[in-house]
Structures are given as C-alpha cells and as structure tokens.
Amino acid sequence: MNLSEDQIRELAIQAIKVLGDNATPDAVQNYIENELSKSGQNLSKASTSTGRVILTSFGLNTTGIVSSITKALSDCQCDILDISQKIMQEFFTMIMMIDISKSDKDLKDIQEEMNRIAENLKVKIYLQHEDVFRFMHRI
C-alpha cells in the first residue's frame, strides 16, 4: 500500500479534529491505523515497504537509555540512519530516523519493544512511520 502525501495529510487532519485535546502522537497513529484497517489497508505494512520510521524519546536522564534503545533496534535488524541526542541539565531528549525495511518485525512489534524499554527506563518513546510524523508536524 502506498499512500500519497495528500492522503496521509488528510488522515492526520481528520484524526486531530476527531481526537481534539486527546490528539497525542500515539492516539493519532492509532486513529489512522484504525481508519486504514476499515478499508483493508495496514500502516504497519506500509512502513516496512518504505522502511523509514522516526523514534523520539525524552525523560529524566539515566545511564543506559541510548544503549538500551539501540541494542533493541539492533536485535530487530533495524538500521539507524540519523540520530540526535541532547541532555539539558537532568533531561534527556533524542530523535532517530530508522530504516526497518530489513527487520523481520513490523512496526507494531518494534513499537511494543520500545514500549517495554520505555517502561523499564521510565522515559517516553514514540515510534511513528516517517510520513505520519512528517504530516503531524506540518499541521
């Protein structure tokens, strides 16, 4: 499935309108995935065909955040294309562009793995298809 930029933008706008104050990145992605599944399409499969996803992470800085995330990505055969990390006093932030096209796991499986890591490290980790991320932040 290949969605055009306009189709993804329209879905993101629709999701934000419907969700209102509850329009978090996860909620918007879930809304879009539900809408696509109603029409027999699947965003996770689209992600593996284009291959690029965006990971954002933030929280209180602790030892091992980057190593835990990158180890899990490596275990899933994901390739880190770009990474930016910043520590501002006691706060940690990071954003990565990742290629998941060679992974034997789909986007949903990798998201679940990141959720486990986030819970263990007590940080927030969001993993979104590149197109969803791009259009959410254009709006």
Which tens digit of pLDDT belongs to each residue from 9-62? 677 778 888 888 887 877 887 888 888 777 766 554 444 346 889 999 999 999
**Residue 60: CATH number of its domain:** 3.30.70.260
Domain, as residue range, for 124: 50-130
Q: 122 with 99, same domain?
A: yes
Q: Are residues 82 and 109 in the same domain?
A: yes
- Pair 82, 35 in one domain: no
Q: Which of 26-40, 41-55, 105-119, 121-135 has the highest mean pLDDT?
A: 105-119
| Domain identity same for 40 and 58 | no
Same domain for 17 and 84, yes or no, is: no
Same domain, 59 and 104: yes
Note whether 12 and 67 are same-domain residues. Answer: no
Residues 56 and 113 in one domain: yes
Residue 20 belongs to some domain of the structure: yes
Same domain, yes or no: 54 and 81? yes
* Number of domains, the chain: 2
> What pLDDT, on a 0 to 100 scale, did the predictor assign at position 28?
80
Let me know whether 55 and 41 are in one domain: no
Residues 89 and 124 in one domain: yes
Count of residues in the chain: 139
Sheet containing 79-88: give its strands across: 79-88, 91-99, 52-60, 124-129
Q: Model-level pTM?
A: 0.63
Residue 110 exposed, middle or buried by CB count within 10 Å (0-12, 13-18, 19+): buried
Residue 121 and residue 108 in one domain: yes
* Distance between CA atoms of residues 98 and 126, nearest Å: 12
